[in-house]
Structure 1
Amino acid sequence: MLQTLQRSKTKSGAAYVDSGSGDEVLVLIHGVGMRIEAWGPQIEQLSKRNRVIALDLPGHGLSAPLEGRPDLSNFVTWLASVIDELELGAVNIAGHSMGALITTGMAATAPERLRRIALLNGVYKRTIAARQAVEARAGEIFTGAFDREAPLGRWFAPDEANTDAYRLVRALLQEVNAEGYAAAYRAFATGDTLYCDCWPFVTCPALFLTGDGDPNSTPEMAKDMAEAAQNGRTAVIRGHRHMVNLTAPEEVTAALDNWLTWAA
């Protein structure tokens, strides 16, 4: 049984954890199939010097689902509305995977709400083959054919199967709501081109971090986004894959801690 962090809820049904205090407000957005607990190491450490707001994606954890058939833009609108509900003002946002795509959408559509952004294991202009593969998975998931073990093979190296990080992610996948997962995965699969041309216009400090072994959110993608942004930097964590914030928590947390000091 998973240990669940105590959450609050907005009037619109978004579940969140509000921890720590400080001049910088950091909003954490997880990836498809996860929930707030996937940010455990970062919440614990970064809340010592900052106010950290971690959110459950719609249809994940305790957050209400989005209505209809949402695309990535609906998730971006949802995040902006939560920031407004919580009266956070301009914030720092760190998003992992699907959370990175949502963060990109915020940079493209609401730059005035941002102080800094960090994309962890973000996707950028997938190849045709990669897009076909992820869209095929999205189609299968939407029909109810949801293999809750399959992502583990992409997200972890074989020798990580006995780690706490692997066990946590496996447990989160086992408990995620199937309809919430399917809706978010469809937006993730089809959303990588929606805001991808925004980077030349993004002026806030932007960190692009991934693992050197992530086959789908590659170091090349991170470097390309950083080079396209006006104030972008890349961090590549060696020896790690997609769940790098859990498999290399000290390195990732240190990178985020440093990022929060960049002049905004």
Structure 2
Amino acid sequence: MTLTTLRLSKPFGRVTYCEAGRGAPLVLIHGVGMQSAAWQPQIEAFSTQYHVMALDMPGHGGSDALGGTPKLPDYVAWLHAVVAALDLGPVCLAGHSMGALISGGYAVTHPQRVARVALLNGVFRRTQAARDAVTARALEIRKGSFDLETPLKRWFGDAPSEQVASAKVAGWLSSVNLKGYADAYGAFADGDEEYADGFAKIPCPLLALTGALDPNSTPEMAQAMADAAPLGRAATIEGERHMVNLTAPEQVNAILADWLQTPMEERETA
């Protein structure tokens, strides 16, 4: 696994990503406060057959933050700049949480560049109460409030395996660029409706995967995303929360492996 730096023109600047393997391109985008290393179980599993590129989102890991106060379309434009600069053909694209919003938006706006898309623990058409809560949190973060314990308690249980994953996530959250974190959370807070109407026009196989115990990226949201897309499929992992790719890697990888083999012409059922 190699850490690579790509330098784009303004306004995107430096992009870092973990790269491994050969084959068809599989691009992975993490969530708010994380970094490309959060995809390690998937990089190890799929680099035997695919050219895996796990990107550091703007303002995360080694990637430069975006200027101003970016919104979700700015992150989608960033991803397009990366895909174009790397001269990638249609990619297999997977995103987690904020990365799922970016990936879904990219599949809507650049369908010719996406062979298939997987949305892990994504959000979709929040209730007003949920939107108000996440918007309030985004404002607190923008003002400089950094609460490490609350997301960890929400994302992880007490099992030893979950606490190992929690320690890794705590390290990434503790080292994140504060502007990059605030920017991404702000875009995450108001991005769940941005591309929702466009899901009906996504032509490729779409997987919406979440944990049954995730209170914010719910199984109902996953099913709604799958139902909105012509080739959509929803999957729920019982007993899991928000960081399923770290806490249930074998189950997630099995589902992703199936998604990677889904023929374009088939519509999957839940």
Normalising by structure 1, report the TM-score.
0.95
Give a deviation string over 1:89-116, Cα, whole Å, max 9, x none: 2101000000000011111111111000
Matched residue type, 1:26: L
Partner residue in 2 for 1:8: 4
Partner residue in 2 for 1:117: 117
Distance 2:150 2:181 in 1: 14
Partner residue in 2 for 1:94: 94
Partner residue in 1 for 2:248: 248
Q: Indicate the larger mover: 145-154 or 159-168.
A: 159-168
* Contact 1:131/1:189 (<8 A) preserved: yes
* Contact 2:157/2:163 (<8 A) preserved: no
Runs of at least 4 residues off by over 3 Å? 158-162
Give a deviation string over 1:8-29, Cα, whole Å, max 9, x none: 111121101121012x210000
1:196-215 → structure 2 map (5 Å cutoff): 196-215=196-215
Matched residue type, 2:115: R
Deviation, 1:163, is 2.5
Give a deviation string over 1:74-96, Cα, whole Å, max 9, x none: 00000000001111121010000
**SS of aligned partner of 1:10:** strand
1:67-146 → structure 2 map (5 Å cutoff): 67-146=67-146
Matched residue type, 1:15: T
* Contact 1:70/1:187 (<8 A) preserved: yes
Partner residue in 1 for 2:22: 21
Normalising by structure 2, report the TM-score.
0.93
Partner residue in 2 for 1:60: 60
**SS of aligned partner of 2:148:** coil
Partner residue in 2 for 1:40: 40
Deviation, 1:131, is 0.3
Q: Is 1:260 matched up with 2:260?
A: yes
Deviation, 1:164, is 1.5
Distance 2:102 2:181 in 1: 15
* Contact 2:18/2:37 (<8 A) preserved: no
**SS of aligned partner of 1:235:** strand
Q: Indicate the larger mover: 11-20 or 116-125.
A: 11-20
Matched residue type, 2:200: P
Deviation, 1:148, is 2.0
* Contact 2:155/2:241 (<8 A) preserved: yes
**SS of aligned partner of 1:14:** strand
* Contact 2:2/2:20 (<8 A) preserved: no
Distance 1:108 1:204 in 2: 10
Deviation, 1:161, is 8.1
Structure 1 unmatched runs, 5+: none
* Contact 1:19/1:51 (<8 A) preserved: yes
1:175-186 → structure 2 map (5 Å cutoff): 175-186=175-186
**SS of aligned partner of 1:28:** strand
Structure 2 unmatched runs, 5+: 9-13, 265-270
Give a deviation string over 1:41-67, Cα, whole Å, max 9, x none: 000011111110110000000001111
